[in-house]
A and B are shown apart, each in its own frame.
Chain A
Amino acid sequence: MRQPSVRARRVAAVSVSLFLAAGAAACGPKDNDAKGAGGGDSKPQKGGTLTVLNSNPQEDFDPARLYTSGGGNVPSLVFRTLTTRNRESGAAGAKVVPDLATDTGRPSENATVWTYTLKEGLKFEDGSPITSADIKYGIERSFAPELSGGAPYLRDWLIGAADYQGPYKDKGKGLDAIGTPDARTIVFHLNKPEGEFPYLATQTQFTPVPKAKDTGTKYEEHPVSSGPYKVVSNEGDGERLILERNTYWSAATDEERKAYPDRIDVRSGLDSSVINQRLSASQGADAASVTTDTNLGPAELAKVSGDKELAARVGTGHFGYINYIAFNPKVKPFDNIKVREAISYAIDRTSVVNAAGGSSLAEPATTYLPDQKSFGYTPYDHFPAGASGNPAKAKEVLKEAGYPNGLTVTLTHSNSKDFETSPEIATAVQDALKKAGITVKLDGLEDNDYRDTIHDAKKEPGFFLAHWGADWPSGGPFLAPIFDGRQIVKDGANFNNGFLDDKSVNAEIDAINKLTDLDAAAKRWGALDSRIGEQALTVPLFHPVYKRLYGKDVKNIVISDWTGVLDISQVSVK
């Protein structure tokens, strides 16, 4: 409930077809130390059926069409990729590790050529071997217009991919940018340096697809598994998905997936309150249930936290995400940096956090980047507002700006009930600014209207609530779409809301993209974030925290900082 539906976010991201799908990542696995929650201390055992209770169906269950962060949660049970997320709790889970490949990729000197070698003994669910040609074919078919839905990176990065229409046209013409010198080697040629290519290789488009079994748009009904489970039934376009063991999968080639249950039963289309009610009651089959898309809301948390048994069955996770106030400096009075600073000083993050669900569901933020190491988090607070705002300082700055008697502004927000850009947050901002002499009028828009308005360079309001999430845990997909001047889109979906076009910022983004040492890159993303922050183009408000219930019999809870959600591949129900 707190989190906008994965699907809605994905649709939004795809429709704008820019870098980041603000929340496509919600389907990833993570592992949080559950502290012996639920089922006791015995070691996880194989067997049993794990039920997944979700709001959103596993729509278009085709590796070409899924938009995931790190390969997704349920999809990752069926689809293996070149690299994948490290299936560990916390910060360690934000690392990229090899999956089908023997390493996370060998870059050329300037990071424009990436080479991977496949492990030995990899097999599809029918026992046939997985080759590099299957991976190449899987990527190629994701370019077919009828199989759209994935992230736009491959089209942007691969040489000659901009107008490629997939293997179904032009007599099966392939992509020359992907070379397969032998059955176990695959080489990618990029049109620019991309040190973060290993992160991209976690997405389901890097799943092997056997050409002989490709049924085009019908492939989603029974995709050929390379992972520990295969699809035995897919009803209503992923509404009810039943997975059973793929006997040709070998744990010896897969260090990441534990695959304890014999059967996975994914039931979707449920109301979020029903999911939480069923998980808290934990009766019958629901005792062996988890959810991968439904968070506890504030009211549910209030109830759960008062009950020890329930509180022990809550998994807590962090996903790289920021909720913030965005300014459009083309609109008066926000062209005046002093006005933007005054608002930054006046903001009361305690009220905002409470409106978002309280300190257990949101953490106050003063930086644009999430407070995680993999993003290169560098603490800064250029316009310190304290815990509850500094109206005195704000008034002072406002005076310098030429508004000694205060001013009146309009805050645009959405009317959705997501506790992110919703009226609750807007009124908390309004109340805080009132103390600094700034009268805020609220302009609430319907969800679609809101998205269209804030991403249209011509209609963009001056002062509005916004949010952003990353496709992988790094500063790149977090900062580039929002602050790279070359990504300002005049006609179409624009994410550079501050219209920042600073040559030195653009150059630094290019320089960091060349780095293949991800730790070094992270540090520079953090420094860049702090530098951009000085321009007060945004007021960071809070980073969300995900809290999700799981059933009584569920063991081995792993929640990484990559997705903030428990990783199904690690869960045991015996």
Chain B
Amino acid sequence: MSEVLLASPAAGTGATPVPAASGARQFWRRLRTRRAALVAAAVVALLVLVAVAAPLFTAVEGQDPTTYHPALVDSARGGVPVGSFGGISGDHWLGVEPQTGRDLFARLVYGARVSLGVALAATLVQVLIGVVVGIASALGGQWVDQLLSRLTDVIIALPLMIMSLALLAIVPGNFPRPVLVALVIGLIAWGGIAKIVRAQTLTLKQLDHVAAARLSGWGSWRIARRELLPGLAAPVITYAALLVPSNITVEAALSFLGVGVKPPTPSWGQMITAADVWYQAAPQYLLLPAGALFLTVLALTVLGDGIRTALDPRAASRLRVGTGRRREARVKDATGETATTATAAKTGAGA
């Protein structure tokens, strides 16, 4: 994944001067040509809907994620769900959890809240810190740059999982857990985005409109806000889109290791841990959260890749999933796209 991510700094750089409105239109036009990305977007939209409307979905089913149903499991056989396919019935659409009899559908949709919520919040934290540090080090003096760049190096070098495990273990138990997990992931893994923003900002600084702004006496803050941020949008969005699935995996892994959200709050990673011993006796218990996790990460990755290509067709994906290359080429011609390919080399300098 990191290769894909590192390719992105080049992405936005060339496209900067394009006015926002026409950029957005072009972006949509290009994204539309990638069927895989569209399908992925639909899946992601559905997942977000499920997560946001989780109480609604479970109300329709008539269940909630925490109530025990001891009558629905066979206590003498270790608590395996009664009935075929893990106890699937009109009342329990995806069956029930072994040992407890809690409704799996309810736990799965509530688990989506945790997985998506934590991943999105963590991404937000990463983007915020990354952009601020990146711009500050590009615009600041030599000392500031040195200091912030080395700090970024250190952050990148930190082993994410080990640091998260350590941090989550020492924070008192009464701190709200999902917020904590999001913060920990966000605070540890912002190094990549900071590097990209710094490189991009260094390039943008050379451009005429920024120089003009500086000559007319604008302060650094105003320049950053008015002249630099629009140009940073593309690479940042691209990078963020690819960070979300990676954050989902980290959250699941932390929950799997038992330091994520606390029971009885369901999370996919936690469900997978509890289910791993049941793969033979109650396979659907493991397959449901694992499948949901797989689908989500795949959809988000494909969508992220689609966004990247749409924002910068020159750095076309190596994935080439459902790209419809020929069609894309035609669209490119039609829109009169003349990518300034020469800039690629120039931008590389910053990275």
| A residues neighboring B (CB under 8 Å) | 1, 273, 296-303, 305-306, 348, 350-351, 353-355, 357-361, 388, 415, 423-424, 426-428, 430-432, 441-446
Contact = CB atoms under 8 A, between A and B. Distances in A.
Nearest to B173: A443
A443 B74 CA distance: 29
B74 A431 contact: no
B79 A442 contact: no
Contacts of B98: 298-299, 302
Contacts of A441: 174
B99 A354 contact: yes
B277 A355 contact: no
Contact of A415 (B73, B74, B258): B258
A354 B77 contact: no
Interface string B95-107: 0001111000000
Contacts of B336: none
Contacts of B174: 441, 443
Contacts of A427: 66, 100, 263-264
A208 B14 CA distance: 86
The list of the 9 closest CB pairs from A to B, nearest first, reads: A298-B78, A302-B281, A301-B78, A302-B80, A359-B75, A299-B277, A302-B78, A358-B75, A358-B79
Given A302-B80, A302-B281, A444-B173, A354 B262 contact: no
B57 interface: no
Contact of A305 (B66, B70, B76, B264): B76
Nearest to B273: A417
A358 B99 contact: yes
Given A299-B98, A302-B80, 5 more contacts: A301-B77, A357-B78, A358-B76, A415-B258, A427-B100
A431 B280 contact: no
B282 interface: yes
The dominant DSSP class at the B interface is loop
A302 B282 contact: yes
Interface of B: 66-68, 70, 73-80, 98-101, 169, 173-174, 258, 262-264, 274, 277-282
A140 B78 CA distance: 47
Contacts of B100: 351, 354-355, 424, 427-428
B73 A303 contact: no
Given A302-B98, A446-B169, A350 B258 contact: no
B264 A299 contact: no
A417 B200 CA distance: 48
B261 to A, nearest CB: 11
B264 A431 contact: yes
Given A298-B98, A302-B281, A351-B68, A442 B262 contact: yes
B173 A358 contact: no
21 contacts: A298-B277, A302-B77, A302-B278, A303-B280, A348-B70, A350-B70, A351-B100, A354-B68, A354-B101, A355-B100, A358-B73, A358-B99, A360-B75, A360-B78, A388-B70, A423-B262, A424-B99, A424-B100, A424-B274, A432-B68, A442-B264
B78 A358 contact: yes
A425 B169 CA distance: 21
Contacts of A299: 78, 80, 98, 277-282
B31 to A, nearest CB: 43
Q: Which of A306, A357, A358 has the most CB of B within 10 A?
A: A358
B74 A358 contact: yes
Contact of A423 (B79, B101, B263, B281): B263
A428 B97 CA distance: 13
Nearest to B276: A299
B271 to A, nearest CB: 13
Nearest to B285: A299
A361 B78 contact: yes
B281 A360 contact: no
A359 B68 contact: no
A354 B280 contact: no
Nearest to B270: A423
B75 A350 contact: yes
A297 B277 contact: yes
A428 B68 contact: yes
Contacts of B173: 443-445
B77 A358 contact: yes
